[in-house]
Amino acid sequence: MKKVFQLVESNKHRDRTLEAIKSDIRKYLKRERKKKLPADATYWEFECRFGKSDTEVEELLAPEIITALDKAHSEEWSECYVEIISKPVSTKEESI
């Protein structure tokens, strides 16, 4: 998911818009976790980036995105960029 979310919409209250964005992100994470893992993987890992635009981003852990959204809301950003990329991770140790 690579998306620019509008935090300000003319026909909605800012708090309702924020809750809708959080809901979309939670649904996406839940849907990605349900996908079938490859045979050599044990769980899904998420690479997350968040910022005002796609050029000024910071890397976050998946649970930190919601708090970053709250911070952007309190600072009254008009929009924010969210990028979440899932990848399978294996915890098996490889022998050398």
CB 79 within 8 A of CB 4: yes
List pLDDT tens digits, range 18-76.
Answer: 999 999 999 999 999 999 999 999 999 999 999 999 899 999 999 999 999 999 999 99
12: which 2 tokens? Answer: 């909605």
pLDDT at 96 over 60: no
Its sign, for the CA torsion 59, 61, 2, 77, is negative
- Measured CA to CA, the distance from residue 82 to residue 30 in angstroms comes to 16
Instruction: Kindly indicate the confidence band of residue 93, based on its pLDDT and cuts at 50, 70 and 90.
Output: low
Quick one: pLDDT at residue 2? 96
List pLDDT tens digits, range 2-17.
Answer: 999 999 998 999 999 9
Quick one: pLDDT at residue 54? 87
